[in-house]
Structure 1
Amino acid sequence: MDGELTFEEIYSAFHPKILRYLARLAGEQEAEDLAQETFVKVHRALENFRGESQLSTWLYRIATNTAMDKLRSPSFQRIAQLRPSDDSIEGDQAGGVDWAVLVKEGKPLVEKQLIREEMNDCIRGYVEKLPETYRAVLALSEYEGLKNNEIAEILGVTLDTVKIRLHRARAKLKEELETNCEIHWIEEIPCSVMHPIK
């Protein structure tokens, strides 16, 4: 590396993006630890980075490999099975908001916000159930806005493999959502499978 960016500058510029990506890939409970592990690896390998790929591509590759190793580990599989599902949390209290009180008080747009929250929770739940290879391509493509050739480089697969995984992931997710989630139109804005309404 030509010394263009210090580790501190890289961390400052990319930590929020990498953390967000890892949360989508492995879940919010794991994201902070995975981000820390990712940047430890980046720090150790930074002097060997030759610029043969974009810095962001290199960082996402390290983050992806770190997450995949964790997701595939037997210890993670055991812990994941013991975790309570989101369904065990009372919906009315989700996110610290008492929706029943707000609806009774007639707060404006509360009903629409509640529908959005329910849809987003449902979408997130089914995204998390996808195989990790599908979650990775979806997160990199739809959330991080990377091009297919960049995704192929990050994941170490061919461009055709990325296209196939994206197609299958979207088809599987669409099928699950149509069957199991009530997708609504709010003010003519569809609840997108990839971009949950904020």
Structure 2
Amino acid sequence: MTTPLITEEELQRQLAEPSSRRVAFSLVVRLYSKQIYWQIRRMVYSHEDADDLVQNTFIKAWEAIEGFRGEAKVSTWLYRIATYEALNFLKKRRSEEEHRISPSEEADAAYLLSRLHADEYFDADEVEERFQKAILTLPAKQQLVFRLRYYDEMPYEQMSKLTGTSEGALKASYHHAHRKILELLDAEE
């Protein structure tokens, strides 16, 4: 995460104050847009979808700003909103697919990989593609935990606040995900 130009406490104070809320929120958008984009992008694999979901995340955050009580960091609050936006998007897409074909995890993975390849910004090599395929074999919760820990280096304590899961369960989930990914990558060599 980017080190803010303002302390967390000051940012939360300004967000709580109606007279400074708009300026503080624009700072929140500037500080966290990139991290939120990449969190979502790793889940949906499409630049256009990620851009739309980032906008939705900040719209929902703005609409809910009066209810933000500062019980979690601003970044944790935004990650939670972004995660739910991405998961709801994937659920909706999966529901749309169910009406056309018989749903399966393989179909979901194939769809997401096709989105990745269709994305003009995707320039990864074969190793990255194999890595992404391995991540997609994990259950949804393990995918989320793995991405937050591996890519964002999110501490388990913050992940716990984000997901509502105990730190011990998150550590176990990450360990199992990591092991499965290594096994899959080793098997392909």
1:1-198 alignment runs, 5 A limit: 1-3=12-14, 6-29=24-47, 30-73=49-92, 74-75=94-95, 77-78=97-98, 83=111, 85-86=113-114, 95=123, 117-180=125-188, 182=189
Q: Deviation digits for residues 170-194 of structure 1, max 9, x if unmatched?
A: 11111111112x3xxxxxxxxxxxx
- Measured in 1, the distance between the counterparts of 2:63 and 2:132 equals 33
Deviates more, 1:76-85 or 1:15-24: 76-85
- Measured in 2, the distance between the counterparts of 1:178 and 1:76 equals 34
From the CA coordinates, give the structure whose radius of gyration is larger. Answer: 1
Per-residue deviation, 1:26: 2.4
- Measured in 2, the distance between the counterparts of 1:146 and 1:131 equals 19
What SS does the corresponding residue of 1:6 show, helix, strand or coil?
helix
Per-residue deviation, 1:84: 8.3
Return closer, same or farther for 1:170/1:120 CA change in 2, 3 Å cut-off: same
Per-residue deviation, 1:40: 1.1
Query: What is the identity, as a one-letter code, of the residue corresponding to 2:46?
Result: E
Higher relative contact order (CA 8 A, sep 6+): 1
Residue 185 (structure 1) aligns with: none
Equivalent residues, number: 155
What SS does the corresponding residue of 1:53 show, helix, strand or coil?
coil
Q: TM-score, normalised by structure 2?
A: 0.71
Percent identity over the alignment is 28
Return closer, same or farther for 1:142/1:83 CA change in 2, 3 Å cut-off: closer
Q: Deviation digits for residues 26-75 of structure 1, max 9, x if unmatched?
A: 22253222212111111111122111111111111111122222223343
Per-residue deviation, 1:85: 4.8
Return closer, same or farther for 1:167/1:151 CA change in 2, 3 Å cut-off: same
Query: What is the identity, as a one-letter code, of the residue corresponding to 1:146?
Result: M
Q: Answer yes or no: is the 8 Å Cα contact 1:61–1:154 preserved in 2.
A: yes
Unaligned runs of 5+ in 2: 1-11, 16-22, 101-106
Per-residue deviation, 1:76: 5.3
- Measured in 1, the distance between the counterparts of 2:27 and 2:51 equals 19
- Measured in 2, the distance between the counterparts of 1:28 and 1:60 equals 18
What SS does the corresponding residue of 2:70 show, helix, strand or coil?
coil
- Measured in 1, the distance between the counterparts of 2:112 and 2:59 equals 30
- Measured in 2, the distance between the counterparts of 1:84 and 1:135 equals 13
| Coordinate RMSD, CA, aligned | 2.5
Return closer, same or farther for 1:84/1:147 CA change in 2, 3 Å cut-off: closer
Per-residue deviation, 1:7: 1.6
- Measured in 2, the distance between the counterparts of 1:165 and 1:77 equals 28
